[in-house]
Amino acid sequence: MTDRVVIVGGGHAGVTLAALLRQSGYDGEVMMMSAEDDAPYHRPPLSKNLHEPEAEQPLRPDHFWSDHDLVLRLGTVVDRIDRVRHEVVEVGGRRVGYDHLVLATGAVPRSLDVPGAELEGVLTLRTLGHARELRGFLAQPGCRLVVVGGGYIGLEVAAMAVGAGAEVTILEREQRVLARVASAELSAFLTEHHRAAGTTIVTGVEVTCFEGSDGRVTSVVLGDGTSVDCDVVLVGIGALPLDDLAVSAGLQCSEGILVDNSARTDDPSIMAIGDVTRRPVGMLPGRSRLESIPSSTEQARQACSVIMGSAPPPSEVPWFWSDQGDLKIKIAGVVRAGDSVVLRNDPAVGRFAAYHHADGIVTAAETVNSSGDFMAAKKLIGSAMVIDPTLLANTATSPAQAIVTQPQVRA
């Protein structure tokens, strides 16, 4: 009998795993169910290069699936897992048996539950379909876009839309953009940068409803009664893990499927990878949910090594990138409240790094147009060496020269 791996979800995590299995010599069946009708594609360009030909980039060429004897079933939604019979049950009732089941169902945009949210033109951005819809609105000359939420996706879309001639307003509930995920230094720099490019950024405001005419959104109303006129709204207020299959199957979940650092759930036949998971991350306590391509790739490697029975891959320093107009932002590690921040170079020149450290141990670095700092920070975070913050700030010496002691032993 042939061994079969069933992968639910055709996003970056699932596709990477399918490819890795064949690269590693797995000769059993690999079947991937994807709810979407589009063949798997890259999500990052959707908020960055929407107007460029490379906006719609397949993750693999069409012939890849047959070349590698991988079964890709598009437009196929898995409805439940029968853990006793080791089968998934699709909407429509078809049952497919598995030896290894890998859940890679990703996340969905958080919706804003206010009156008018159902109006035409109130959009979110996760899929190619969403991106095509947004592109349709932005193609109208003089389009007025309101972005609700000053997170990474909102800022990327704002940069892209302003560059394409739209009038853009970002409405953020917190006192600064990226409040939950970035340092005050990076938030301040980006706010200034986006304002200089022509985007209006309003912080500390709550959206209370959307108003419309003939079923289409025409304005966004704020808590103080003022309103912002618009032709289209992008709600970019975060994403929720699509863990309902796992929850209903009784797997351990807590706002995401709980996995260990080999992508295993509490069922030995079921693994989970990508945005849907909550997993151990470096020096952070408990488990965290990362939403990034590098994290999905790392977990796909972990799942592959479990299936192949090979040595687990070394753990990686988490990282993330964001392109906003001419800014290349790369973040190594995970930004935590309470760590100290030291700047290398001056944000005023548009190239700098904000290193975060706890008692001299670097925990994260936010780098803007500074790939040298990004590479250096990854090494410092991975090695847990203690640095002298004053030396780190000194651009006459390299980040490595700021190291003052040998590696700390991590628990």
Ligand X SMILES: Cc1cc2nc3c(=O)[nH]c(=O)nc-3n(C[C@H](O)[C@H](O)[C@H](O)COP(=O)(O)OP(=O)(O)OC[C@H]3O[C@@H](n4cnc5c(N)ncnc54)[C@H](O)[C@@H]3O)c2cc1C
Pick the closer one to ligand X by CB: 187 or 297. Answer: 297
- 168 forms part of the interface with ligand X (CB under 6 A): no
- 296 forms part of the interface with ligand X (CB under 6 A): yes
- 291 forms part of the interface with ligand X (CB under 6 A): yes
User: Mask 359-388, x = binds ligand X (CB under 6 A)?
Assistant: ------------------------------
From 6-14, 161-169, 211-219, 304-312, span contacting ligand X (CB under 6 A): 6-14
Q: Which amino acid is at 348?
A: A
- 327 forms part of the interface with ligand X (CB under 6 A): no
Q: Please tell me whether residue 258 adopts helix, strand or coil conformation.
A: strand
Q: How many residues are there in the chain?
A: 411
Residue 337 to residue 347: CA distance in whole angstroms = 21
Smallest separation (angstroms) from ligand X to the CB of 276: 6
Q: What is the dihedral of CA 190, 155, 165, 137, to 10 degrees?
A: -170
- 11 forms part of the interface with ligand X (CB under 6 A): yes
Q: Report the relative pairing of strands 257-258 and 232-235 from DSSP bridges.
A: unpaired
Smallest separation (angstroms) from ligand X to the CB of 49: 10
> Tokens 């003052």 correspond to what residue?
404
Residue choice 119, 123, 143, 153 for contact with ligand X (CB under 6 A): 153
- 10 forms part of the interface with ligand X (CB under 6 A): yes
Q: Which amino acid is at 346?
A: D
Smallest separation (angstroms) from ligand X to the CB of 126: 5
Residue choice 164, 287, 321, 394 for contact with ligand X (CB under 6 A): 321
Residue 325 DSSP label = T
Residue 406 to residue 411: CA distance in whole angstroms = 16
- Write out the DSSP string of 62-113: THHHHHTT-EEETT--EEEEETTTTEEEETTS-EEE-SEEEE---EEEPP--
- 245 forms part of the interface with ligand X (CB under 6 A): yes
> Tokens 């410092």 correspond to what residue?
380
- 105 forms part of the interface with ligand X (CB under 6 A): yes
- 265 forms part of the interface with ligand X (CB under 6 A): no
- 97 forms part of the interface with ligand X (CB under 6 A): no
At a CB cut-off of 8 Å and minimum separation 6, what does 136 contact? none
- 171 forms part of the interface with ligand X (CB under 6 A): no
- 77 forms part of the interface with ligand X (CB under 6 A): yes
From 139-147, 213-221, 273-281, 386-394, span contacting ligand X (CB under 6 A): 273-281
Pick the closer one to ligand X by CB: 34 or 363. Answer: 34
Residue 162 to residue 169: CA distance in whole angstroms = 10
Smallest separation (angstroms) from ligand X to the CB of 14: 5
At a CB cut-off of 8 Å and minimum separation 6, what does 389 contact? 340, 342, 355, 357, 360, 402
- 17 forms part of the interface with ligand X (CB under 6 A): no
Interface with ligand X by CB under 6 A: which residues?
A: 8-14, 33-36, 43-44, 46-47, 77-78, 104-107, 125-126, 153, 242, 245, 274-276, 291-294, 296, 320-322
